[in-house]
Structure 1
Amino acid sequence: MSLKLLYGFHAVGARLRAASDSVRELLVDTSRHDARMQQFLARAQDAGLAVIAADGARLDALAGTHRHQGVVARVEPLDKMSTLDAVLDATADTPLLLGLDGVTDPHNLGAILRTADCAGVHAVFAPKDRAVGLTPTVAKVASGAADTVQYIMVTNMARTLAALRERGLWVVGTAGEATDTLFDAKLAEPTALVLGAEGSGMRRLVREGCDQLVHIPMQGSVDSLNVSVAAGVCLFEAVRQRCCLAAASGKL
Protein backbone atom coordinates (compact mmCIF):
# COMPACT_ATOMS: atom_id res chain seq x y z
CA MET A 1 0.00 0.00 0.00
CA SER A 2 1.45 3.36 -1.01
CA LEU A 3 1.68 5.96 1.74
CA LYS A 4 0.43 9.52 1.39
CA LEU A 5 1.96 12.64 2.87
CA LEU A 6 0.32 15.03 5.31
CA TYR A 7 1.83 18.16 6.78
CA GLY A 8 0.85 20.96 9.12
CA PHE A 9 -0.64 20.85 12.62
CA HIS A 10 -4.27 20.75 11.50
CA ALA A 11 -3.97 18.01 8.88
CA VAL A 12 -1.66 15.73 10.89
CA GLY A 13 -3.45 16.45 14.17
CA ALA A 14 -6.80 15.52 12.63
CA ARG A 15 -5.34 12.20 11.45
CA LEU A 16 -3.99 11.51 14.95
CA ARG A 17 -7.48 12.05 16.36
CA ALA A 18 -9.29 10.08 13.67
CA ALA A 19 -6.93 7.17 12.99
CA SER A 20 -3.59 7.35 14.76
CA ASP A 21 -2.86 3.72 13.84
CA SER A 22 -2.66 4.77 10.18
CA VAL A 23 0.39 7.00 10.86
CA ARG A 24 3.53 5.18 9.77
CA GLU A 25 6.13 7.95 10.24
CA LEU A 26 5.90 11.21 12.14
CA LEU A 27 8.67 13.72 11.60
CA VAL A 28 8.91 16.98 13.53
CA ASP A 29 11.27 19.92 13.75
CA THR A 30 12.46 19.55 17.34
CA SER A 31 14.02 23.00 17.27
CA ARG A 32 10.49 24.27 17.88
CA HIS A 33 9.79 24.51 21.61
CA ASP A 34 6.61 26.61 21.57
CA ALA A 35 3.40 25.61 23.32
CA ARG A 36 1.70 24.45 20.13
CA MET A 37 4.48 22.01 19.35
CA GLN A 38 4.54 20.75 22.93
CA GLN A 39 0.80 20.08 22.81
CA PHE A 40 1.21 18.26 19.51
CA LEU A 41 4.06 16.11 20.84
CA ALA A 42 1.97 15.23 23.89
CA ARG A 43 -0.86 14.11 21.58
CA ALA A 44 1.56 11.97 19.57
CA GLN A 45 2.89 10.42 22.77
CA ASP A 46 -0.64 9.66 23.96
CA ALA A 47 -1.24 7.90 20.63
CA GLY A 48 1.88 5.78 21.18
CA LEU A 49 3.72 7.19 18.17
CA ALA A 50 7.48 7.50 17.93
CA VAL A 51 8.66 10.90 16.72
CA ILE A 52 11.51 11.24 14.25
CA ALA A 53 13.57 14.40 14.70
CA ALA A 54 14.21 16.28 11.46
CA ASP A 55 15.59 19.65 10.56
CA GLY A 56 13.74 22.25 8.52
CA ALA A 57 15.58 21.45 5.29
CA ARG A 58 14.56 17.78 5.41
CA LEU A 59 10.94 18.67 6.15
CA ASP A 60 10.96 21.24 3.31
CA ALA A 61 12.15 18.54 0.92
CA LEU A 62 9.57 16.01 2.07
CA ALA A 63 6.62 18.39 2.00
CA GLY A 64 7.73 20.27 -1.11
CA THR A 65 7.05 23.52 0.74
CA HIS A 66 8.23 25.41 3.81
CA ARG A 67 4.62 25.76 5.06
CA HIS A 68 4.67 22.49 7.01
CA GLN A 69 4.88 24.18 10.45
CA GLY A 70 7.53 21.66 11.47
CA VAL A 71 5.23 18.62 11.24
CA VAL A 72 5.19 16.00 8.44
CA ALA A 73 3.64 12.52 8.49
CA ARG A 74 3.56 9.54 6.17
CA VAL A 75 0.19 7.84 6.54
CA GLU A 76 -1.86 5.01 5.08
CA PRO A 77 -4.84 6.16 3.00
CA LEU A 78 -8.13 5.77 4.85
CA ASP A 79 -10.83 3.57 3.38
CA LYS A 80 -13.41 5.70 1.58
CA MET A 81 -16.44 5.05 -0.55
CA SER A 82 -15.60 5.06 -4.24
CA THR A 83 -18.96 5.93 -5.80
CA LEU A 84 -21.79 8.37 -5.22
CA ASP A 85 -24.23 5.46 -5.29
CA ALA A 86 -22.42 3.94 -2.30
CA VAL A 87 -22.58 7.26 -0.46
CA LEU A 88 -26.29 7.66 -1.13
CA ASP A 89 -27.03 4.05 -0.16
CA ALA A 90 -25.29 4.62 3.19
CA THR A 91 -26.93 7.98 3.90
CA ALA A 92 -29.87 7.97 6.30
CA ASP A 93 -30.21 11.78 6.27
CA THR A 94 -31.50 13.94 3.43
CA PRO A 95 -28.59 13.89 0.97
CA LEU A 96 -26.53 17.02 0.34
CA LEU A 97 -23.85 16.68 -2.34
CA LEU A 98 -21.49 19.26 -3.81
CA GLY A 99 -20.23 19.05 -7.40
CA LEU A 100 -17.20 21.03 -8.60
CA ASP A 101 -16.73 21.48 -12.33
CA GLY A 102 -13.24 22.68 -13.15
CA VAL A 103 -11.83 23.59 -9.72
CA THR A 104 -8.10 22.98 -10.14
CA ASP A 105 -6.55 25.12 -7.39
CA PRO A 106 -5.57 23.01 -4.34
CA HIS A 107 -6.10 25.92 -1.93
CA ASN A 108 -9.66 26.37 -3.18
CA LEU A 109 -10.39 22.64 -2.92
CA GLY A 110 -8.94 22.47 0.58
CA ALA A 111 -11.07 25.40 1.72
CA ILE A 112 -14.17 23.87 0.10
CA LEU A 113 -13.62 20.51 1.80
CA ARG A 114 -13.26 22.24 5.17
CA THR A 115 -16.54 24.10 4.61
CA ALA A 116 -18.23 20.95 3.30
CA ASP A 117 -17.31 19.11 6.49
CA CYS A 118 -18.77 21.93 8.61
CA ALA A 119 -21.98 21.94 6.53
CA GLY A 120 -22.48 18.18 6.78
CA VAL A 121 -22.04 17.49 3.07
CA HIS A 122 -22.22 13.76 2.34
CA ALA A 123 -19.80 13.89 -0.61
CA VAL A 124 -17.96 16.26 -2.91
CA PHE A 125 -17.53 15.12 -6.50
CA ALA A 126 -15.51 16.41 -9.44
CA PRO A 127 -14.47 15.26 -12.93
CA LYS A 128 -11.26 13.28 -13.25
CA ASP A 129 -10.03 15.37 -16.17
CA ARG A 130 -10.62 18.89 -14.83
CA ALA A 131 -9.96 18.81 -11.11
CA VAL A 132 -7.23 18.72 -8.52
CA GLY A 133 -6.76 15.56 -6.50
CA LEU A 134 -6.18 15.20 -2.76
CA THR A 135 -2.67 16.60 -2.66
CA PRO A 136 -0.73 17.38 0.55
CA THR A 137 -1.54 21.07 -0.01
CA VAL A 138 -5.27 20.26 -0.19
CA ALA A 139 -4.99 18.24 3.02
CA LYS A 140 -3.22 21.05 4.87
CA VAL A 141 -5.72 23.73 3.81
CA ALA A 142 -8.63 21.39 4.56
CA SER A 143 -7.45 21.11 8.20
CA GLY A 144 -8.43 17.45 8.48
CA ALA A 145 -11.53 17.56 6.28
CA ALA A 146 -9.71 15.74 3.46
CA ASP A 147 -9.95 12.66 5.70
CA THR A 148 -13.57 13.16 6.77
CA VAL A 149 -15.33 14.30 3.58
CA GLN A 150 -15.89 11.81 0.78
CA TYR A 151 -14.16 13.23 -2.34
CA ILE A 152 -15.14 11.26 -5.42
CA MET A 153 -13.77 11.83 -8.90
CA VAL A 154 -16.19 10.85 -11.69
CA THR A 155 -15.59 10.09 -15.34
CA ASN A 156 -18.35 12.28 -16.76
CA MET A 157 -20.05 15.12 -14.86
CA ALA A 158 -23.10 15.38 -17.14
CA ARG A 159 -23.86 11.65 -16.87
CA THR A 160 -23.30 11.82 -13.12
CA LEU A 161 -25.85 14.61 -12.76
CA ALA A 162 -28.35 12.61 -14.83
CA ALA A 163 -27.83 9.61 -12.53
CA LEU A 164 -28.33 11.78 -9.44
CA ARG A 165 -31.59 13.13 -10.86
CA GLU A 166 -32.75 9.55 -11.44
CA ARG A 167 -32.10 8.90 -7.75
CA GLY A 168 -34.37 11.78 -6.82
CA LEU A 169 -31.86 14.56 -6.15
CA TRP A 170 -32.63 18.12 -7.22
CA VAL A 171 -29.57 19.44 -9.08
CA VAL A 172 -28.92 23.16 -8.54
CA GLY A 173 -26.15 24.88 -10.48
CA THR A 174 -24.73 28.35 -9.93
CA ALA A 175 -24.51 30.79 -12.84
CA GLY A 176 -24.14 34.54 -12.75
CA GLU A 177 -26.76 35.09 -15.45
CA ALA A 178 -29.41 32.87 -13.81
CA THR A 179 -32.82 34.44 -13.19
CA ASP A 180 -33.47 32.66 -9.89
CA THR A 181 -31.46 33.55 -6.81
CA LEU A 182 -29.90 31.06 -4.41
CA PHE A 183 -32.72 31.86 -1.98
CA ASP A 184 -35.31 30.69 -4.54
CA ALA A 185 -33.87 27.17 -4.55
CA LYS A 186 -35.46 24.51 -2.36
CA LEU A 187 -32.37 23.07 -0.71
CA ALA A 188 -34.01 21.20 2.17
CA GLU A 189 -34.85 18.30 -0.15
CA PRO A 190 -32.25 15.82 -1.51
CA THR A 191 -29.89 18.19 -3.33
CA ALA A 192 -26.74 18.29 -5.40
CA LEU A 193 -25.25 21.79 -5.61
CA VAL A 194 -22.89 22.34 -8.53
CA LEU A 195 -20.32 25.13 -8.87
CA GLY A 196 -18.07 25.87 -11.80
CA ALA A 197 -14.56 27.24 -12.00
CA GLU A 198 -13.95 30.93 -11.47
CA GLY A 199 -14.17 32.81 -14.75
CA SER A 200 -15.36 30.05 -17.07
CA GLY A 201 -18.06 28.65 -14.78
CA MET A 202 -19.72 25.32 -15.53
CA ARG A 203 -19.30 23.68 -18.91
CA ARG A 204 -22.33 23.68 -21.22
CA LEU A 205 -23.32 20.03 -20.76
CA VAL A 206 -22.95 20.32 -17.00
CA ARG A 207 -25.09 23.45 -16.99
CA GLU A 208 -27.74 21.69 -19.09
CA GLY A 209 -27.71 18.80 -16.64
CA CYS A 210 -28.97 21.01 -13.80
CA ASP A 211 -32.64 21.16 -12.82
CA GLN A 212 -32.28 24.80 -11.75
CA LEU A 213 -29.72 27.56 -12.19
CA VAL A 214 -29.32 30.20 -9.49
CA HIS A 215 -27.12 33.18 -8.76
CA ILE A 216 -25.89 34.60 -5.47
CA PRO A 217 -27.27 38.14 -5.08
CA MET A 218 -24.38 40.63 -5.09
CA GLN A 219 -24.79 44.04 -3.47
CA GLY A 220 -21.41 45.68 -4.08
CA SER A 221 -19.33 46.68 -7.07
CA VAL A 222 -17.52 43.31 -7.30
CA ASP A 223 -19.56 40.91 -9.41
CA SER A 224 -18.13 37.53 -8.38
CA LEU A 225 -16.90 35.52 -5.41
CA ASN A 226 -13.98 33.16 -5.00
CA VAL A 227 -15.32 29.64 -5.63
CA SER A 228 -14.56 28.50 -2.09
CA VAL A 229 -16.47 31.46 -0.66
CA ALA A 230 -19.37 30.84 -3.06
CA ALA A 231 -19.45 27.21 -1.94
CA GLY A 232 -19.70 28.31 1.67
CA VAL A 233 -22.57 30.71 0.92
CA CYS A 234 -24.50 28.03 -0.99
CA LEU A 235 -23.90 25.24 1.49
CA PHE A 236 -24.93 27.24 4.51
CA GLU A 237 -28.08 28.43 2.78
CA ALA A 238 -28.86 24.72 2.46
CA VAL A 239 -28.04 24.25 6.16
CA ARG A 240 -30.29 27.20 7.07
CA GLN A 241 -33.22 25.83 5.09
CA ARG A 242 -32.80 22.36 6.57
CA CYS A 243 -32.59 23.71 10.12
CA CYS A 244 -35.75 25.79 9.54
CA LEU A 245 -37.58 22.73 8.22
CA ALA A 246 -36.42 20.62 11.16
CA ALA A 247 -37.51 23.31 13.62
CA ALA A 248 -40.93 23.64 11.97
CA SER A 249 -41.45 19.88 12.14
CA GLY A 250 -40.31 19.69 15.76
CA LYS A 251 -37.18 17.69 14.95
CA LEU A 252 -34.72 20.34 16.10
Structure 2
Amino acid sequence: MRKGHRPSQAPSNRPRFWGRHAVTAALANPERVVRRVWGTREALAAFGGFPSDLPVTYAEVADLGRLVPSDAPHQGVVIEVDPLPDIWLGDLLEQSEGNNRPLLILDQVTDPHNVGAVLRSAAAFDALGLITQDRHAPPESGALARSASGALETVPWVRVVNLARALDEIGEAGFWRIGLTGHAPRTLGEAIGTARVALVLGAEGEGMRQNTEAHCDELAKLPISPKVESLNVSNAAAIALYAIATRGA
Protein backbone atom coordinates (compact mmCIF):
# COMPACT_ATOMS: atom_id res chain seq x y z
CA MET A 1 0.00 0.00 0.00
CA ARG A 2 1.34 3.41 -0.94
CA LYS A 3 1.65 5.65 2.07
CA GLY A 4 2.78 9.17 2.84
CA HIS A 5 4.23 10.52 6.03
CA ARG A 6 3.11 13.46 8.08
CA PRO A 7 5.70 16.13 8.86
CA SER A 8 8.01 15.15 11.68
CA GLN A 9 6.89 16.28 15.09
CA ALA A 10 8.83 17.58 18.04
CA PRO A 11 9.21 14.90 20.71
CA SER A 12 6.89 16.82 23.06
CA ASN A 13 4.09 16.56 20.49
CA ARG A 14 4.36 12.83 19.92
CA PRO A 15 1.36 10.82 21.15
CA ARG A 16 1.76 8.80 24.30
CA PHE A 17 -0.16 5.57 24.61
CA TRP A 18 -0.82 3.67 27.81
CA GLY A 19 -2.39 0.41 28.93
CA ARG A 20 -1.45 -3.15 27.97
CA HIS A 21 -3.77 -3.54 24.96
CA ALA A 22 -2.81 -0.28 23.26
CA VAL A 23 0.91 -0.72 23.96
CA THR A 24 1.03 -4.38 22.89
CA ALA A 25 -0.76 -3.58 19.62
CA ALA A 26 1.53 -0.63 18.88
CA LEU A 27 4.65 -2.71 19.47
CA ALA A 28 3.31 -5.45 17.20
CA ASN A 29 2.48 -3.07 14.33
CA PRO A 30 5.39 -2.89 11.83
CA GLU A 31 4.06 0.46 10.59
CA ARG A 32 4.25 2.03 14.05
CA VAL A 33 7.46 3.75 15.18
CA VAL A 34 7.81 3.51 18.95
CA ARG A 35 10.29 6.06 20.31
CA ARG A 36 10.41 5.35 24.03
CA VAL A 37 9.01 3.10 26.74
CA TRP A 38 8.40 3.79 30.42
CA GLY A 39 7.05 1.27 32.86
CA THR A 40 7.23 -0.51 36.18
CA ARG A 41 9.52 -3.52 36.30
CA GLU A 42 6.56 -5.82 36.85
CA ALA A 43 4.57 -4.46 33.90
CA LEU A 44 7.51 -4.43 31.49
CA ALA A 45 8.51 -7.98 32.41
CA ALA A 46 5.23 -9.17 30.88
CA PHE A 47 6.36 -7.94 27.44
CA GLY A 48 9.31 -10.31 27.35
CA GLY A 49 11.86 -7.81 26.08
CA PHE A 50 12.16 -4.89 23.68
CA PRO A 51 14.37 -4.05 20.67
CA SER A 52 17.89 -3.15 21.77
CA ASP A 53 17.71 0.31 20.17
CA LEU A 54 14.45 1.27 21.95
CA PRO A 55 15.02 3.41 25.07
CA VAL A 56 13.34 1.76 28.07
CA THR A 57 13.02 3.54 31.42
CA TYR A 58 11.89 1.86 34.60
CA ALA A 59 9.60 4.09 36.62
CA GLU A 60 7.36 4.08 39.66
CA VAL A 61 3.58 4.24 39.30
CA ALA A 62 3.50 7.86 40.50
CA ASP A 63 6.10 8.86 37.90
CA LEU A 64 4.07 7.22 35.12
CA GLY A 65 1.02 9.16 36.26
CA ARG A 66 2.85 12.40 35.47
CA LEU A 67 3.46 11.28 31.87
CA VAL A 68 -0.22 10.88 31.02
CA PRO A 69 -3.49 12.72 31.74
CA SER A 70 -4.69 12.54 35.31
CA ASP A 71 -6.47 9.30 36.23
CA ALA A 72 -5.41 7.63 32.95
CA PRO A 73 -5.43 3.84 33.54
CA HIS A 74 -1.84 3.28 32.38
CA GLN A 75 -1.52 -0.23 33.92
CA GLY A 76 2.16 0.38 34.55
CA VAL A 77 3.31 1.08 30.99
CA VAL A 78 3.52 4.19 28.76
CA ILE A 79 5.05 4.56 25.30
CA GLU A 80 5.83 7.53 23.06
CA VAL A 81 5.17 6.98 19.35
CA ASP A 82 5.10 8.63 15.95
CA PRO A 83 1.68 8.95 14.28
CA LEU A 84 1.02 6.24 11.72
CA PRO A 85 1.81 6.99 8.05
CA ASP A 86 -1.06 8.40 6.02
CA ILE A 87 -3.13 5.98 3.97
CA TRP A 88 -4.61 7.09 0.65
CA LEU A 89 -8.30 6.51 -0.05
CA GLY A 90 -7.62 5.17 -3.55
CA ASP A 91 -5.28 2.52 -2.15
CA LEU A 92 -7.88 1.39 0.39
CA LEU A 93 -10.59 1.18 -2.27
CA GLU A 94 -8.31 -0.96 -4.44
CA GLN A 95 -8.14 -3.43 -1.55
CA SER A 96 -11.95 -3.60 -1.49
CA GLU A 97 -12.21 -5.23 -4.90
CA GLY A 98 -13.54 -8.75 -4.68
CA ASN A 99 -14.83 -8.59 -1.12
CA ASN A 100 -17.97 -7.41 0.64
CA ARG A 101 -16.42 -5.72 3.67
CA PRO A 102 -18.12 -2.47 4.76
CA LEU A 103 -16.59 0.98 5.03
CA LEU A 104 -17.26 3.40 7.87
CA ILE A 105 -17.34 7.16 7.33
CA LEU A 106 -17.60 9.64 10.22
CA ASP A 107 -18.74 13.20 9.56
CA GLN A 108 -17.13 15.58 12.08
CA VAL A 109 -17.08 13.15 15.01
CA THR A 110 -14.45 14.75 17.21
CA ASP A 111 -14.59 12.85 20.51
CA PRO A 112 -11.52 10.56 20.70
CA HIS A 113 -13.37 8.04 22.88
CA ASN A 114 -16.12 7.71 20.27
CA VAL A 115 -13.68 7.37 17.37
CA GLY A 116 -11.68 4.80 19.33
CA ALA A 117 -14.82 2.80 20.10
CA VAL A 118 -15.85 2.94 16.42
CA LEU A 119 -12.42 1.59 15.45
CA ARG A 120 -12.86 -1.25 17.92
CA SER A 121 -16.24 -2.18 16.41
CA ALA A 122 -14.75 -1.89 12.91
CA ALA A 123 -12.09 -4.42 13.90
CA ALA A 124 -14.68 -6.72 15.50
CA PHE A 125 -16.80 -6.84 12.34
CA ASP A 126 -13.88 -6.84 9.87
CA ALA A 127 -14.66 -3.50 8.28
CA LEU A 128 -12.42 -2.42 5.42
CA GLY A 129 -11.48 0.85 7.09
CA LEU A 130 -12.52 4.15 8.61
CA ILE A 131 -12.79 7.45 6.71
CA THR A 132 -12.81 10.82 8.48
CA GLN A 133 -12.00 14.39 7.63
CA ASP A 134 -8.50 15.53 8.36
CA ARG A 135 -9.37 18.73 10.21
CA HIS A 136 -12.59 17.71 11.99
CA ALA A 137 -11.48 14.46 13.60
CA PRO A 138 -9.31 13.82 16.65
CA PRO A 139 -5.59 13.14 16.28
CA GLU A 140 -4.03 9.92 17.49
CA SER A 141 -3.85 10.06 21.27
CA GLY A 142 -3.62 7.89 24.32
CA ALA A 143 -7.34 8.24 25.02
CA LEU A 144 -8.25 7.22 21.48
CA ALA A 145 -5.82 4.28 21.46
CA ARG A 146 -7.14 3.13 24.83
CA SER A 147 -10.76 3.23 23.62
CA ALA A 148 -9.79 1.38 20.44
CA SER A 149 -8.19 -1.40 22.51
CA GLY A 150 -5.59 -2.17 19.82
CA ALA A 151 -7.79 -1.51 16.78
CA LEU A 152 -5.97 1.76 16.00
CA GLU A 153 -3.08 -0.43 14.84
CA THR A 154 -5.14 -2.83 12.71
CA VAL A 155 -7.99 -0.87 11.08
CA PRO A 156 -6.90 1.41 8.21
CA TRP A 157 -7.83 5.02 9.00
CA VAL A 158 -7.98 7.36 6.02
CA ARG A 159 -8.13 11.11 6.60
CA VAL A 160 -9.47 13.17 3.70
CA VAL A 161 -9.60 16.91 3.06
CA ASN A 162 -13.05 16.92 1.40
CA LEU A 163 -15.56 14.36 2.65
CA ALA A 164 -18.08 14.98 -0.14
CA ARG A 165 -15.41 14.32 -2.78
CA ALA A 166 -14.37 11.18 -0.91
CA LEU A 167 -17.97 9.95 -0.88
CA ASP A 168 -18.12 10.45 -4.65
CA GLU A 169 -14.98 8.32 -5.03
CA ILE A 170 -16.42 5.67 -2.70
CA GLY A 171 -19.63 5.54 -4.74
CA GLU A 172 -17.67 5.21 -7.99
CA ALA A 173 -15.88 2.22 -6.42
CA GLY A 174 -19.21 0.39 -6.16
CA PHE A 175 -20.25 1.06 -2.56
CA TRP A 176 -23.88 1.74 -1.63
CA ARG A 177 -23.57 4.80 0.63
CA ILE A 178 -26.07 4.67 3.50
CA GLY A 179 -26.29 7.63 5.86
CA LEU A 180 -27.67 6.83 9.31
CA THR A 181 -30.11 9.45 10.56
CA GLY A 182 -33.21 9.38 12.71
CA HIS A 183 -35.36 11.26 10.17
CA ALA A 184 -34.91 8.67 7.40
CA PRO A 185 -38.07 6.98 6.04
CA ARG A 186 -36.64 3.44 6.00
CA THR A 187 -34.79 1.30 8.52
CA LEU A 188 -31.25 0.11 7.92
CA GLY A 189 -32.49 -3.46 7.48
CA GLU A 190 -34.72 -2.32 4.63
CA ALA A 191 -31.95 -0.29 2.99
CA ILE A 192 -28.97 -2.63 3.20
CA GLY A 193 -29.58 -4.73 0.09
CA THR A 194 -26.74 -6.93 -1.17
CA ALA A 195 -24.18 -4.39 -2.41
CA ARG A 196 -21.02 -3.38 -0.57
CA VAL A 197 -22.05 -0.83 2.04
CA ALA A 198 -20.38 2.39 3.12
CA LEU A 199 -21.97 3.53 6.39
CA VAL A 200 -21.98 7.26 7.06
CA LEU A 201 -22.52 8.53 10.59
CA GLY A 202 -22.60 12.06 11.95
CA ALA A 203 -21.73 13.60 15.27
CA GLU A 204 -24.06 13.25 18.23
CA GLY A 205 -26.68 15.96 18.41
CA GLU A 206 -25.89 17.64 15.11
CA GLY A 207 -25.84 14.47 13.02
CA MET A 208 -24.64 14.48 9.43
CA ARG A 209 -24.33 17.77 7.63
CA GLN A 210 -26.77 18.40 4.81
CA ASN A 211 -24.06 18.24 2.16
CA THR A 212 -22.93 14.86 3.49
CA GLU A 213 -26.49 13.51 3.34
CA ALA A 214 -26.72 14.73 -0.26
CA HIS A 215 -23.74 12.53 -1.18
CA CYS A 216 -25.35 9.36 0.19
CA ASP A 217 -27.34 6.97 -2.00
CA GLU A 218 -29.90 6.45 0.74
CA LEU A 219 -30.69 7.52 4.28
CA ALA A 220 -31.71 4.95 6.87
CA LYS A 221 -32.49 4.77 10.57
CA LEU A 222 -32.07 2.24 13.32
CA PRO A 223 -35.43 0.98 14.69
CA ILE A 224 -34.97 2.27 18.25
CA SER A 225 -37.69 2.94 20.80
CA PRO A 226 -39.24 6.43 20.91
CA LYS A 227 -38.21 6.49 24.57
CA VAL A 228 -34.67 7.27 23.35
CA GLU A 229 -33.98 10.18 21.00
CA SER A 230 -30.73 8.80 19.59
CA LEU A 231 -27.81 6.46 20.22
CA ASN A 232 -24.19 7.27 20.87
CA VAL A 233 -22.40 7.23 17.51
CA SER A 234 -20.15 4.34 18.52
CA ASN A 235 -23.16 2.26 19.63
CA ALA A 236 -24.95 3.04 16.38
CA ALA A 237 -21.88 2.01 14.38
CA ALA A 238 -21.64 -1.32 16.22
CA ILE A 239 -25.32 -2.13 15.68
CA ALA A 240 -25.16 -1.16 12.00
CA LEU A 241 -22.03 -3.25 11.42
CA TYR A 242 -23.74 -6.24 13.05
CA ALA A 243 -26.76 -5.76 10.79
CA ILE A 244 -24.50 -5.79 7.72
CA ALA A 245 -22.56 -8.83 8.94
CA THR A 246 -25.74 -10.84 9.49
CA ARG A 247 -27.82 -9.77 6.48
CA GLY A 248 -29.32 -12.75 4.79
CA ALA A 249 -28.49 -15.02 7.73
TM range (shorter): 0.7 to 0.9
Cα contact 2:83–2:140 (8 A) shared by 1: no
**Which residue of structure 2 lines up, in the alignment, with residue 121 of structure 1?**
127
Whether 1:61 and 2:66 are equivalent positions in the alignment is yes
Partner of 2:228: 222
d(CA) in 2 for partners of 1:69, 1:188: 44
Aligned to 2:144: 138
What is the aligned counterpart of 1:112 among 106, 114, 118? 118
Give the gaps of 5 or more residues in structure 2. Answer: 1-7
The answer to whether 1:13 aligns with 2:24 is yes
- Note if contact 1:16-1:47 (Cα within 8 Å) is conserved in structure 2: no
Over aligned residue pairs, what C-alpha RMSD do you find?
Answer: 2.4
Shift in Å at residue 133 of structure 1? 2.0
Relative distance call for 1:50 and 1:133 in structure 2 (3 A) is closer
The alignment's TM-score, normalised by the length of structure 1, stands at: 0.84
1:51-200 paired onto structure 2 within 5 Å = 51-67=56-72, 68-79=74-85, 82-91=87-96, 92-186=98-192, 188-200=194-206
Q: Deviations over 1:197-243 (max 9, x none)?
A: 1111000000111101000001361121111100100111111127x
Residue 248 of structure 1 corresponds to: none
Deviations, residues 53-81 of structure 1 (Å, cap 9, x unaligned): 1123432232233312221012344445x
Aligned length: 235
The within-5 A match list for 1:228-243 is 228-241=234-247
- Whichever structure has more helix as a proportion of its residues is 1
**1:203 counterpart = 2:209:** yes
**Retained in 1: the 8 A contact 2:26–2:32?**
no
Residues 143-196 of structure 1: CA deviation (Å, up to 9, x unaligned): 111111111111111121122112221100011011110111225422210001
Could you tell me whether the CA contact under 8 Å between 1:188 and 1:238 is conserved in 2? Answer: no
On the 8 A contact 2:120/2:151 being kept in 1, the answer is yes
* 1:95-129 per-position Cα deviation (integer Å, ceiling 9, x unaligned): 41100012111111111101111111111111223
| % same residue | 37
